[in-house]
Structure 1
C-alpha cells in the first residue's frame, strides 16, 4: 500500500469530503452484530468516528502517523499505524471492515486474505470511493480538462480503479451488493480549489514543475463560476459490500 498523503495531512483533514449518512445506513442494515469494527486506511478517522457511534469498539489503522495525528479521539476508537495487508489483530475479531477511498492502493490478494483471517463468520466488508465531482456543465468541463490534460500524467496507475468504480478489483465475497450515494456541499471557489489541491497528482505536478497548477485553474474557473459566492458541489460515492 502506498502512502501519498502524509505530506499534506492537515489539508486532507480539512478539505476532503466525508460520506453521506445514507451510505452508513445502507452498510449497517447488512451488519448482524455491532461488537467490533475495523476501519482500514482510516486516514484522519472520519469513518471511524461514525462507526464509534454504533460499535462497542473500533480499530482504526493507517500507514501514515501524520494522518492519524489529525484524527478525532474517542474512548472506543483505537488508532495505530499498520499496513492493510498485515494487521496486528487476532483471528475472528471483526463484525465489519470498512475501507473508504483507499482500496485501490492495496495489494488485493494479501488484503483479502487478511480480511478472511480477522473477521467473524458472517461479517461484512464494505468499501467505497468517490468519483470526480460535478457542479455545472461549464465548470465540470474545465475541471475535466485539468484532470485529464494538465495533471493526467501525474496520476498513479491505481487511479483507474476509481474511474471504473472498482470493477477490476477482486472482491471474493458472498451476496455482493452495490450502490451509489450522493454527497453535496455548498462550496466557494476557494473551498473547491483547496480540495483540488489535496489531489496527490497536483502535489506530484508541483514537485516536478516547480509551481502549483491550481492557481491557473482558479483563474479559468472564475470566468464560469457566476455571481453566487457558493455553488452546489456533488460527489458520487460508489460503494459495494459483501459477506465474508
Structure 2
C-alpha cells in the first residue's frame, strides 16, 4: 500500500545534518506572527524539525511547544528555556482545547493530512488565534552560470525523485487548501552567504537526494558537485543564496 503524506516521514534520517545546514527564518517572520496573535501565552510549531522557527517564536511568547513525529529531528533540536519539544503528529496534537494563540508550521504543511490537521487547529485555537503555514522553495544563486547549472540539476537531474508534495512548495503554497479567513503576508526572504561545502551540505538534506541515493543514483549529486565546484571559484568563497519565503496566514 502506498503511504499517505501523513504516514511518510522523509526526514527521519540525518537530524544532525538537518540542524547543521537548514537555514533559519528571518526574525521578522516570528515578530509578524506574534503581532497578529491575540495573546502571547502559547505558540506551537507543528512539524518543527530541529527548531529553526521554534526558537524564534520563543522570543515573543511565554511558552512554545515544538511538535515533530521524528525522534531524530527532536534529538538535534535547538534548546531554549521557553521551548518544550514533544513527539507528536500534526494530526493528533496533545494540547487542550482553545488555549493556543498561534499554530505555525514551517516547511512542513505539505506533508500533513491537511483536513485532520485543520481539525486540530480549530480545536486547539483560542478565539482570534493565528494559523500560519510558511515555506521556502528552491534557492537562488548570485551568478548566472551557477544558477543555470543549479536549475538543470533541480528540475531535470533530481526532478523525478521529488515526492509529489514538493509541487506545493514550488508554488509557494498557493495551491494548498487553506479554509480560513486569510490575512496578507509580508514579503520576506532568507539570505545567506555560504561557501561551497555549506551549500552542498544543505542540498544533502533534501528528500529527493536521499531518494536518488536509495535508487542507486547518488552520482547525480557527485556530478553536480563537480560541475558546481568548477563554476564556484575558490571553495571557501562565499556566494549569496536567497530563498523567497511564502506564507499563508489566517484565523480559524
Alpha-carbon distance in structure 2 between the residues aligned to 1:149 and 1:211:
15
Q: State the 1:10 CA deviation.
A: 0.6
Asked if residue 198 in structure 1 is aligned to residue 205 in structure 2, the reply is: yes
Moved more, 204-213 or 104-113: 204-213
Q: State the 1:180 CA deviation.
A: 3.0
Decide which of 221, 241, 251 is 1:243's aligned counterpart.
251
Q: State the 1:41 CA deviation.
A: 0.5
Q: State the 1:27 CA deviation.
A: 1.7
Decide which of 219, 241, 252 is 1:233's aligned counterpart.
241
Alpha-carbon distance in structure 2 between the residues aligned to 1:210 and 1:226:
26
Alignment of 1:70-149 (within 5 A): 70-135=76-141, 136-149=143-156
TM-score norm. by structure 2 comes to: 0.92
Alpha-carbon distance in structure 1 between the residues aligned to 2:152 and 2:198:
19
What's the RMSD between the two structures over aligned residues?
Answer: 1.4
Structure 2 unaligned segments of length 5 or more: list them: 1-5
Q: State the 1:101 CA deviation.
A: 0.3
Decide which of 56, 63, 78 is 1:57's aligned counterpart.
63
Structure 1 unaligned segments of length 5 or more: list them: none
Moved more, 228-237 or 58-67: 228-237
In the alignment, which residue of structure 1 is the partner of 2:52? 46
1:137-183 CA distances to partner (integer Å, 9 max, x unpaired)?
A: 21111111111111111100000001111122111111422333111
TM-score norm. by structure 1 comes to: 0.95
In the alignment, which residue of structure 2 is the partner of 1:168? 175
Pair 1:210–1:149, CA change in 2 (3 A): closer
1:192-236 CA distances to partner (integer Å, 9 max, x unpaired)?
A: 111111111001101111634322111111232235711111111
Asked if residue 66 in structure 1 is aligned to residue 58 in structure 2, the reply is: no
